[in-house]
Chain A
């Protein structure tokens, strides 16, 4: 009996200390990795060119897998050398330099980094934020419903009634439920990223709509006073 009580106490202690000292692991790093995988495929294969290929060739020449010159073109010689290297190091022999082969070579692939002249200008920030919004708001929707949600965000940036940046629109208080409940911080899937890119490149299945709502869950009466135009998936779109 005593033993039982003591065991219970210890159990309670352990439980409490877990509550007190447990810190949820941030999955930010993981999500950026996933993001980079989708956005800048860090994979080199037959036909790849660029500085990354040069780095790979440099290593291969240094370790005598490749006899030839470092020219930055992933041709037949490089392909064979990579296969030899992979066989020797117990990697999957596929002649493709992915993250694991690159790690074994002791280099990191920079992926498709912009040239220096880009001065840090790119669209990735908006792209990723849009993809996250789509993932939070329209995960179960058909593809066109995802593009439509992103198009609404972009139409809002162009409307005087709304903030003028993508982040301004997405994070406007009380605008999106997925932002309020934190679902926007989930990792976007491949479809969401694709839809975000299509929307940024101009596809707009809503023809300029500024609002959308799910008739099953919409709580605001005001939203029903909008001009109703089109139903895509589960959402109604409106002006």
Chain B
């Protein structure tokens, strides 16, 4: 019997071995395919970035030479497009943020700046000497960048250069060398970018907008103890069991609105459920409050919640606030309240209030944009009448309501007529400048039963 069955074990072992080899080979080829696909993707990104930066450089030099306004608008719009594309693709390459931050900033601002210049051109303003100088500077920077990329490109022609090699073990050395090449050349671009002066213009990515200081805060610096008292009183001193402050670093005063931040532990709740609050150092105002307690059963209506929120704001000393939009989520409603002065809705002065729908408690409050923007304004009289403004809006725009509003535009604010209405079955708001009749902005609104979103 033994003699007849001796072959069984080796056969099964053999089959098992073959299966293991097949499996291993499959894994190996799959890994290689993935590696090649990833490498191809990175190579493509690299060559694209090169091409986009080339185009930026060339178009910038053309824009500097051109004397025609129309030509300039076309060139600038192409610069914007190419710079954004280059930035987008640079952000996808396997390089650390530390090595690309300034280059990305340069590309973003170049695009943003071009957009700003296009707007100027369309308003009929020619390029100033200053702007020409800035453009020349941008052109210099892009040519440095382009040079480095060209160097990299020739190194890329070397077969051993792989950007995202998956073969960790066998090419460790190669990989390290590659990373060095990539880092040093992008790094040297970074050093050039560092020397670029700040771009002065009016756009969302400009340094002026980024380093804005709050306008609505005045008064003395408050100490931590004073701020703690403000926080206690704001929440209701008798409801607070304990209050602790967040640990602060040495640069805490460099943030947009320097503040003291606290954990409040209300009475009758478990330790995990804290209420969080930020109190500005200057003037000691409550900037924000978040109470993440769960809301079990929604029983209040939106109207009831809105009344609670309005009363809350009145108690806290915000008088002429007007409810605008609401958004319902997680058993709460979020209201956007906007400041109103002399029948003008002032959108930059925005306060958000979140009401829990079970008992009407205020579980969220955010006045940071109010304090960032609120100041004593000299609101001008409208130069044109409603009828004149209406003529500037598309004839078949179905208007529901009209009012005066102040909307932000860069760091300026402009007085506009606000036309709410419907066009082709969708809701929009159209803003017409009340001083010169220009169409300033169009917003699309999405309404559903949970509230309103603007796009």
- Which of A23-31, A84-92, A220-228 is found at the contact surface with chain B? A220-228
Residues of A within 8 A of B255 (CB): 206-209, 229-230, 239
Closest Cβ neighbor of B12 among chain A residues: A9
Q: Contact between A205 and B261 (Cβ–Cβ < 8 Å)? A: yes
Using A13-B12, A174-B96 as known contacts, say yes or no to A121 and B444 having CB atoms under 8 A apart.
yes
Using A160-B104, A160-B105, A173-B93 as known contacts, say yes or no to A229 and B252 having CB atoms under 8 A apart.
yes
Residues of B within 8 A of A49 (CB): 449
B400 to chain A, nearest CB (A): 14
Docked pose: A198 CA to B112 CA in angstroms: 28
Closest Cβ neighbor of B98 among chain A residues: A222
Q: Contact between B292 and A205 (Cβ–Cβ < 8 Å)? A: no
Q: Contact between B23 and A229 (Cβ–Cβ < 8 Å)? A: no
Using A222-B98, A231-B246 as known contacts, say yes or no to A19 and B23 having CB atoms under 8 A apart.
yes
Q: Contact between B12 and A161 (Cβ–Cβ < 8 Å)? A: no
Closest Cβ neighbor of A6 among chain B residues: B8
Q: Contact between A168 and B261 (Cβ–Cβ < 8 Å)? A: no
Using A2-B5, A16-B19, A117-B426 as known contacts, say yes or no to A207 and B248 having CB atoms under 8 A apart.
no
Docked pose: A142 CA to B426 CA in angstroms: 40
Q: Contact between B446 and A118 (Cβ–Cβ < 8 Å)? A: yes
B6 to chain A, nearest CB (A): 9
Docked pose: A229 CA to B260 CA in angstroms: 11
| A33 contacts the other chain (CB 8 A) | no
Question: Interface digits, B268-301 against A, CB 8 Å rule (1 contact, 0 not)?
Answer: 0000101010100000000010101000000000
| B56 contacts the other chain (CB 8 A) | no
Residues of A within 8 A of B23 (CB): 16, 19-20
Residues of A within 8 A of B181 (CB): none
Residues of B within 8 A of A206 (CB): 255
Docked pose: A184 CA to B15 CA in angstroms: 40
Docked pose: A10 CA to B455 CA in angstroms: 63
| A175 contacts the other chain (CB 8 A) | yes
Docked pose: A222 CA to B98 CA in angstroms: 7
Size of the chain B interface, CB-CB below 8 angstroms = 74
Q: Contact between A205 and B448 (Cβ–Cβ < 8 Å)? A: no
Question: Interface digits, A193-233 against B, CB 8 Å rule (1 contact, 0 not)?
Answer: 01101100111111111000000000010100001111110
Q: Contact between A163 and B87 (Cβ–Cβ < 8 Å)? A: yes
Docked pose: A158 CA to B204 CA in angstroms: 8
Q: Contact between A115 and B108 (Cβ–Cβ < 8 Å)? A: no
| B330 contacts the other chain (CB 8 A) | yes
Residues of B within 8 A of A12 (CB): 12, 16
Q: Contact between A238 and B109 (Cβ–Cβ < 8 Å)? A: no
A-facing residues in B80-111 (Cβ within 8 Å): 84, 87-88, 91-98, 101-102, 104-105, 108-109
| B210 contacts the other chain (CB 8 A) | yes
Docked pose: A163 CA to B276 CA in angstroms: 30
Docked pose: A173 CA to B97 CA in angstroms: 9
Q: Contact between B9 and A6 (Cβ–Cβ < 8 Å)? A: yes
Closest Cβ neighbor of A38 among chain B residues: B330
Q: Contact between B425 and A230 (Cβ–Cβ < 8 Å)? A: no
Docked pose: A158 CA to B364 CA in angstroms: 23
Q: Contact between B102 and A161 (Cβ–Cβ < 8 Å)? A: yes
Residue in B93, B254, B329, B448 whose beta carbon sits within 8 Å of that of A239 in the complex? B254
Residues of A within 8 A of B93 (CB): 173
Docked pose: A155 CA to B236 CA in angstroms: 32
| A103 contacts the other chain (CB 8 A) | no
Docked pose: A116 CA to B426 CA in angstroms: 9
Q: Contact between A115 and B447 (Cβ–Cβ < 8 Å)? A: yes
Question: Interface digits, B318-362 against A, CB 8 Å rule (1 contact, 0 not)?
Answer: 000000000101100010000000000000000010000000000
B442 to chain A, nearest CB (A): 14
Docked pose: A220 CA to B453 CA in angstroms: 39
Q: Contact between A162 and B91 (Cβ–Cβ < 8 Å)? A: yes
| A35 contacts the other chain (CB 8 A) | no
Using A201-B334, A230-B252, A238-B251 as known contacts, say yes or no to A160 and B98 having CB atoms under 8 A apart.
no
| B317 contacts the other chain (CB 8 A) | no
Q: Contact between A142 and B272 (Cβ–Cβ < 8 Å)? A: yes
Given A16-B16, A159-B205, A163-B88, 17 other A-B residues pairs in contact with their CB atoms under 8 A: A16-B19, A118-B446, A121-B444, A121-B453, A143-B290, A143-B292, A144-B290, A161-B104, A161-B108, A162-B97, A171-B92, A172-B91, A197-B330, A203-B366, A227-B254, A230-B248, A230-B252
Write the residues of chain A forming the contact surface with B, with a CB cutoff of 8 angstroms: 2, 5-6, 9-10, 12-13, 16-17, 19-20, 49-50, 112, 114-119, 121-123, 142-144, 147, 158-164, 168, 171-175, 191, 194-195, 197-198, 201-209, 220, 222, 227-232, 236, 238-239
In the complex, the 5 A-B pairs of residues with the closest C-beta atoms, listed nearest first:
A228-B249, A227-B251, A160-B108, A207-B255, A9-B12
15 inter-chain pairs at a CB distance below 8 angstroms, sorted by A residue, are A2-B5, A16-B23, A119-B426, A161-B108, A171-B92, A197-B330, A201-B327, A202-B366, A202-B368, A203-B290, A205-B288, A227-B249, A229-B254, A230-B247, A230-B252
